């Protein structure tokens, strides 16, 4: 992990002061925990990595390896996983979020910037340039994904109202009640302890803040499920090998979708994390779904 701009903690974290945050060291993360219990990983406790049962530490490292491998071809990966429809889903996702000119957004697992750039375009330059205007913090555990996002931000001219922070979704380095909105797109199924990530999302949101998650989900009706499985397992991994030279990462991504909770189960997990008014909307027959909840 490379630290380009170290932050000095002086009571509270004022995100508006920082526009070029590239990563945060583990010691800094610890200092921002405010004496709360840190999230831990254990190989004595098992979880799943795709269809394999592995230790928690092993999954964390394996997921990091997958996304380091696919970082430079991330758009290609999403095109393969969704037949290109992910771009339409993300546009609809941002329209549903409907951020205002002063919205402070935390975009988790957002390293390459797909959601964050849509946010900046949606609120407009005037909102970003004004004092205490709209801003987005791009947060990701993977340095390779963040590097891609930073390069894309520069290419697209997004130099204000955006910061990049490296860290763990299970242990967010932000104070309570910091953000107006929390988004996570195609990332939460890769988190080792989803329940802890959801609780952290609730913690850092302001009262009235909104949680929104876009994720691959369970296809409906059942007749389409077999066709989707055929495409997923027989087409996507070979496509990954041909287009990106990587079969195994694409195989994991397909398997991880099947291990992720269905729409109703995930909605209940969000409620258990403390959110209210939890709803979901299926996209493209449930290939993906958007879950939404509010912190009261």
Task: Tell me what pLDDT residue 245 has.
Answer: 81
Give which of 282, 291, 290 is closest to 220, Cα–Cα: 282
Instruction: Give CA angle at 160 (26, 174), nearest 5°.
Output: 30
Q: How far is CA 81 from CA 9, 94, 235, 252, in A?
A: 41, 20, 10, 12
DSSP string, 108-136: ET-TT-HHHHHHHHHH-HHHHHSTT--EE
Task: Tell me what pLDDT residue 18 has.
Answer: 34
CB atoms within 10 A of CB 31: 13
pLDDT per residue as tens digits for the range 38-69: 567 766 677 766 666 667 777 777 777 777 77
Q: What is the pTM of this model?
A: 0.82
Instruction: Report residues of the chain scoring pLDDT below 50.
Output: 1-35, 37
Task: Tell me what pLDDT residue 75 has.
Answer: 73
pLDDT over 70, % of the chain: 82
Task: Tell me what pLDDT residue 135 has.
Answer: 98
Question: Would you state the structure tokens that stand for residue 15, as one six-digit string?
Answer: 């995100």
Task: Tell me what pLDDT residue 21 has.
Answer: 39
pLDDT per residue as tens digits for the range 99-123: 999 999 999 999 889 999 999 999 9
Q: How far is CA 275 from CA 14, 260, 292, 293, in A?
A: 25, 20, 9, 5
Give which of 1, 142, 145 is closest to 63, Cα–Cα: 142
List b or e across 70-86, with b for residues whose CB sees 16 or more CB atoms inside 10 angstroms. bbbbbbebbbbbbeeeb
């Amino acid at each position: 992990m490379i630290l380009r701009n170290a932050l000095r903690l002086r009571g509270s974290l004022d995100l508006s002061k920082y526009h070029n945050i590239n990563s945060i060291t583990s010691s800094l993360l610890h200092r921002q925990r405010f004496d709360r219990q840190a999230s831990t990983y254990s190989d004595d406790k098992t979880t799943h990595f795709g269809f394999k049962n592995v230790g928690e530490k092993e999954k964390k490292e394996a997921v990091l390896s997958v996304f380091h491998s696919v970082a430079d071809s991330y758009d290609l990966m999403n095109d393969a996983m969704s037949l290109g429809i992910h771009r339409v889903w993300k546009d609809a996702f941002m329209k549903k979020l409907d951020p205002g000119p002063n919205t402070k957004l935390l975009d988790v697992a957002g390293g390459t910037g797909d959601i964050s750039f849509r946010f900046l375009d949606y609120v407009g330059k005037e909102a970003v340039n004004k004092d205490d205007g709209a801003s987005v913090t791009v947060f990701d555990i993977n340095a390779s994904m963040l590097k891609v996002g930073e390069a894309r931000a520069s290419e697209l001219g997004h130099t204000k109202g955006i910061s990049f922070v490296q860290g763990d979704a299970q242990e967010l380095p932000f104070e309570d009640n910091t953000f107006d909105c929390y988004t996570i797109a195609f990332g939460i199924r890769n988190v080792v302890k989803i329940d802890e990530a959801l609780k952290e999302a609730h913690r850092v949101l302001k009262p009235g803040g909104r949680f929104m998650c876009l994720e691959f989900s369970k296809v409906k009706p059942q007749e389409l499920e077999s066709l989707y499985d055929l495409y997923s397992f027989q087409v996507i991994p070979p496509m990954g090998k041909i287009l990106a030279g990587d079969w195994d990462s694409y195989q994991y991504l397909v398997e991880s979708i099947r291990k992720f909770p269905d729409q109703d189960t995930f909605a209940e997990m969000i409620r258990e994390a403390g959110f209210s008014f939890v709803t979901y909307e299926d996209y493209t027959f449930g290939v993906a779904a958007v879950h939404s909840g509010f912190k009261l």
